[in-house]
Structures are given as C-alpha cells and as structure tokens.
Structure 1
C-alpha cells in the first residue's frame, strides 16, 4: 500500500511546477506518510548519543581536525 502511495507522490512531482501541482504533490506525500506511519515501520535516525560517556567509536576530537 505504501509503495502505491509513493508512486502517486512520484507522479505528482513529475508534473510541471504550478501551485495546483505543488498542492497535489503535498497531498499525495501526506497520504503516503499516513499510510507509512500506520504500518509502524518508520525509522528515525539517532543524531546524538544520550548515554553518558558513550561516544562514537570513529569520532575525531575537535582539536585534531585539520584546517
């Protein structure tokens, strides 16, 4: 179902840029998001670590970054 909605979003985005087409694309994307969230399988990236003392293993200290 989400794939069908995504195809509708892509079709709406292929139309020439007009206010009506932009509105249609926004509505199609909103329908896609509703379907995707209803499935409960959306992922959210973690941008920061919330644990104390847990850093990223590949993090480079700020003072070691070359200019």
Structure 2
C-alpha cells in the first residue's frame, strides 16, 4: 500500500510525526490484528506491506486513514 500527499506535499514535517504515524499503526493493530511485513516512511509518502488472516487489507487500511 502506498499513499502520497496532495501535490506531493509533505505528510511528515518532523521526527515527532514519524512517531505519531507508528503509534497510529499500533492502535489499529489493537483493533484488528495484522502483520506489518515492511514499511518505508518518507516525508511526502509511505509504503506499507501488510497481511492479515482476520480481516481484509482494505478494512485494515480504513482504520489507518
């Protein structure tokens, strides 16, 4: 899964934004179990490689957004 900021604008402006993003992933995990296979967080976009035996990936992604 990839997501990019509008007009490639920054999604993440400083180090604390990276931490908040990872905290969001953790809170979603508490609701729906998933495996985060790999991730790459950059200032204007991110990549997530997820899998879940319990739910579909679109349902997991709805909670992340």
Shorter-chain TM band: 0.3 to 0.5
**Which structure shows the bigger proportion of residues in helix conformation?**
1
**Which structure shows the bigger proportion of residues in strand conformation?**
2
**TM-score, normalised with respect to structure 1:** 0.33
For CA contacts below 8 A with separation 6 or more, give which structure has more relative contact order. 2
**TM-score, normalised with respect to structure 2:** 0.34
